Structure 1
Amino acid sequence: MRRGAQAVLLVLTGAGLLRISLLTDLYLRYVQPGLRPYLVASGVLLILLGALGAARRPVADHGHGHEHGHGAWAAWLLYAPALALLLAPPAALGAYTAARDDGRVAPAAADGRPRPLPARPTIELSLPEFGSLATWGTSRPLAGRTVRLTGFAAPGENGTWYLSRLVITCCAADARVVKVRIHGAQPPPPDTWVAVTGTWHPTGEPGTNTARPALDASAVTRIPPPDDPYQHGTKGGTGR
Structure 2
Amino acid sequence: MRRYGPAALLLLTGGAVLRITLFGDLYLRYVQAGLRPYLIVSGVALVLLGVVTAILCHHTPSPHEDAHDKDTHDEGDDGFAGHEGHSHGPAGPRVAWLLTLPALALLLFPPPALGSYSAGREAAQRAAQGVGTFPALPAGNPVELTVAGFSSRAIYDSGRSLKGRTVRLTGFVTHGDDGTWYVTRLLVTCCAADATTGKVEIRDADDDALPADTWVTVTGTWRPKGTLGSDAAWPPVLDAATVTRVKQPADPYEKP
Q: Give the structure-2-normalised TM-score.
A: 0.81
Q: Which runs of 4+ in 1 moved over 4 A?
A: none
List aligned pairs for 1:21-32, cutoff 5 A: 21-32=21-32
How far has the Cα of 1:10 moved from its partner?
A: 0.5
How far has the Cα of 1:58 moved from its partner?
A: 4.7
Task: Output the CA distance in 2 between the equivalents of 1:121 and 1:11.
Answer: 52
Instruction: Give 2:158's aligned residue.
Output: 138
Task: Output the CA distance in 1 between the equivalents of 2:204 and 2:125.
Answer: 22
Task: Output the CA distance in 2 between the equivalents of 1:226 and 1:18.
Answer: 21
How many residues are treated as equivalent by the alignment?
227
Task: Output the CA distance in 2 between the equivalents of 1:58 and 1:222.
Answer: 61
The structure-2 alpha-carbon separation of the partners of 1:110 and 1:202, relative to structure 1 and needing over 3 Å to count, comes to: closer
User: Which amino acid in 1 is paired with 2:52?
Assistant: L
Which residue of the other structure, out of 173, 176, 186, is the alignment partner of 1:153? 173
Q: Secondary structure at the match of 2:178?
A: helix
Which residue of the other structure, out of 214, 232, 240, is the alignment partner of 2:255? 232
8 A Cα contact 1:95 1:191, kept in partner: yes
Is 1:162 the counterpart of 2:182? The answer is yes
Structure 1 unaligned spans of 5+: 234-240
Which residue of the other structure, out of 123, 134, 143, is the alignment partner of 1:123? 143
The structure-2 alpha-carbon separation of the partners of 1:9 and 1:141, relative to structure 1 and needing over 3 Å to count, comes to: same
Instruction: Give 1:238's aligned residue.
Output: none
The structure-2 alpha-carbon separation of the partners of 1:195 and 1:115, relative to structure 1 and needing over 3 Å to count, comes to: same
The structure-2 alpha-carbon separation of the partners of 1:50 and 1:113, relative to structure 1 and needing over 3 Å to count, comes to: same
List aligned pairs for 1:1-240, cutoff 5 A: 3-56=3-56, 57-61=60-64, 62-64=86-88, 76-106=97-127, 112-185=132-205, 186-212=208-234, 213-233=236-256
How far has the Cα of 1:98 moved from its partner?
A: 1.1
8 A Cα contact 2:130 2:156, kept in partner: no
Structure 2 unaligned spans of 5+: 65-85
Q: RMSD of the alignment, in Å? A: 2.3
Task: Output the CA distance in 1 between the equivalents of 2:166 and 2:144.
Answer: 9
How far has the Cα of 1:105 moved from its partner?
A: 3.5
8 A Cα contact 1:105 1:128, kept in partner: no
User: Which amino acid in 2 is paired with 1:178?
Assistant: G
| Matched-pair identity in % | 53
Q: Secondary structure at the match of 1:157?
A: coil
The structure-2 alpha-carbon separation of the partners of 1:58 and 1:203, relative to structure 1 and needing over 3 Å to count, comes to: farther
